[in-house]
Amino acid sequence: MARRPRLLPAVGTARNLLAASLEGLLADPAGAGERGTPADPTDLPLVLVACSGGPDSLALAAVAAHLAHTGRCRVGAVVVDHGLQAGSAGTAGRAAAAARDLGLDPVEVHRVTVERDGMGPEAAARGARYAALDDAASRLGAVAVLLGHTLDDQAEQVLLGLARGSGTRSLAGMPESRGPYLRPFLDLRRADTEAICAFYGLDPWHDPTNLDPSYARSRVRGEVLPFLEDRLGPGIARALARTARILGQDADLLEQLSAEAYASLRTEGDDGTVLLPEDGLRSLPAALRQRVLALAALELGAFQPSFERLRAAESLLDRKGSAGPVQLGGKVSVHRQVRGRSVLRGQPSYGSLVLRNNGSSNGPGGQQLRRPIQE
């Protein structure tokens, strides 16, 4: 009898990380039949893997397939073809075939159109990708969508945030979970996923844009992070990922406090505006005040305003100089309500900052908060 190959430590770690990430979402193993196979597999919860065919997502698909074999869930895959590279359809087809060979079902390929709409190419591609994943998860009734980001991706994200001069949420990197999206491999190195692919005999696709120096992320990956590890020690990537985890906890608390403050201050005007009382805003710490202003802008349809735009909006509270408007992006502006002009019918509204979407007749009640585009 041939000996079974010894389990690679990285594979065992990856399996444990995935099981922990899906805790509470899987079927009870006590309900499984002989050899862990349930009587009716269609009753099992469905988990989808976002699979590009690269080492990270292919390793995740292989580990998830093992979990499906235990009879606690079904595992499928969604491959998104952005159509941005020559031969992208063939690459997507090979990724789908690899997922099917691993036993994943259903496996779907989604061809998307990437529309810039004022965003950079990477952000636009992310937006199109998440729209496709959202659609597939909703239509198929998936309990979770697995993303293959690793500790190295997290470290790169923190460095990019530092280079942009970003705030707490950006420096917190990518969350382990957000809604149905889970990132079980944030404690694994990229070398681990490559080793997992080799263990399973998989031939992953290597995205050529990862080596293209015209992309900031590629320069961080190929030049900056290796330089830092050479000069500061090989633990720098793990230290950056740990920083992201710490800041993520801080950002969660600040967002909770900001949402509570916004709910207590917000008033809706008769013409679809959002009013925030100046005295209430002044009483808040700067960290919360800026977040409250950002929440109002997001509700009215803007993208996340920059720090400089939020500071300009804050300056209206000084009651010096112009009463605005200050543009917050996405055709959303804010101005200080001047004496004698009412926003609320029959009520004086002097003493408020007024935010409006100048490009839409819809009131804020018909808007949805825009979800920040994540890696």
Annotated binding site for ATP: 52-57
- Look at the chain and count its residues: 375
DSSP-assigned beta bridge partners for residue 47: 75, 144
Could you give the CA distance from residue 373 to residue 375 in angstroms, rounded to a whole number? 7
- In three-state form (DSSP H/G/I as H, E/B as E, the rest C), the secondary structure along 98-125 is HHHHCCCCCEEEEECCCCCCCCCHHHHH
CB–CB of 328/302 below 8 Å? yes
Q: Which helix (H) or strand (E) holds 296?
A: helix 286-299
Strands 74-81 and 46-50, by their bridges, are parallel
Could you give the CA distance from residue 223 to residue 238 in angstroms, rounded to a whole number? 17
Annotated binding site: 52-57
Q: Which helix (H) or strand (E) holds 11?
A: helix 9-21
Q: DSSP string of 163-218?
A: HHT--HHHHT-S-SEETTEE-TTTTS-HHHHHHHHHHTT------GGGG-TTSHHH
Q: Can you say whether residue 331 is alpha, beta or left, with left for phi > 0 and alpha for psi between -120 and 50 degrees?
A: left
Could you give the CA distance from residue 175 to residue 157 in angstroms, rounded to a whole number? 11
The sheet carrying 177-178 orders its strands as 107-111, 74-81, 46-50, 144-146, 181-182, 177-178
